[in-house]
Structure 1
C-alpha cells in the first residue's frame, strides 16, 4: 500500500491551500492509500476550534477535519514545537490530532511515497 503525507503549513484563511489539501486527502482516501495529515507552522491553525470565517464572508472547512477518520485517515500529526511557537494550547484544537516531535514527523514524511504541500 502506498503512503501519502499531506502537509498543512498555511493558515486556514487568506488562501485556499488548506481546503484544497483537505480535498486531496479525502479524495486519495478512496484509492486505498495510507494517508497522513500533518500540521506544521501556521497550518496548525487549521485545527482551531470555534473559527468564525463568516466575518470574512468565507465558509469554514474546519469541521470537515473531524470526518478524516471516517475516510480512513487515522494518522493526524501536529508538530509540538510549532504548536508552542504559535502559542496555541492543545485544548484550543479539534480533538483529531496527535502532538508529536518534529523528528517523528520528518521520519513519517521520509517514509511516504508521495507528499503534498501547497
Structure 2
C-alpha cells in the first residue's frame, strides 16, 4: 500500500477545484490506500465551520469533508502559521486536524510516496 498526501492550498469556493480534489481523495481511499490531507495557505478555509456558500452559488463541501471519516481518511493536517495568518485556531475548523509547525512540513512530506499538490 502506498502512502498518499494531498495538499490543498486553494480556498473552498474558488471553483470546482476543491470538490474535485475531495472526489479524488475519496476515490484513492476507496482503493484501500493510505491517504492523508494537508491544508495550507487559503486552503484552510475549506475546513472553516459555519460556511454558507449556497448563497453565492457554490456547492457546500461540508458533506464531502464529512465523508473523509467514512473512507478512513483521518490523518488530517494543517500548519500552525497558516492558521495564525488567517486569524484561525483549530477549534474554528469543522474537522479535527493535527497542527504542524511550518519548519516540520518538509520532513513530514518525506514520509509519503505520492504527493498531490495544487
* TM-score normalised by the chain length of structure 2: 0.91
Provide the rounded CA distance (Å) in 2 between the counterparts of 1:9 and 1:57: 21
Cα RMSD of the aligned pairs, angstroms, is 1.4
Aligned to 1:101: 101
Cα offsets for 1:41-74 (capped at 9, x unmatched)? 0000000011111111121012321221220112
Return closer, same or farther for 1:66/1:103 CA change in 2, 3 Å cut-off: farther
Provide the rounded CA distance (Å) in 1 between the counterparts of 2:95 and 2:25: 18
Provide the rounded CA distance (Å) in 2 between the counterparts of 1:104 and 1:76: 15
Question: Which region of structure 1 is more displaced relative to structure 2, 101-110 or 71-80?
Answer: 101-110
Off by >6 Å, runs of 4+ in structure 1: none
Contact 2:90 2:97 in 1 (8 A): no
Provide the rounded CA distance (Å) in 1 between the counterparts of 2:57 and 2:25: 25
Aligned to 1:61: 61
Q: CA deviation at 1:100?
A: 1.7
Aligned to 1:115: 115
Provide the rounded CA distance (Å) in 1 between the counterparts of 2:7 and 2:46: 11
Gaps of 5+ in 2: none
Number of equivalent positions: 118
Gaps of 5+ in 1: none
Cα offsets for 1:89-112 (capped at 9, x unmatched)? 222111331112123332222221
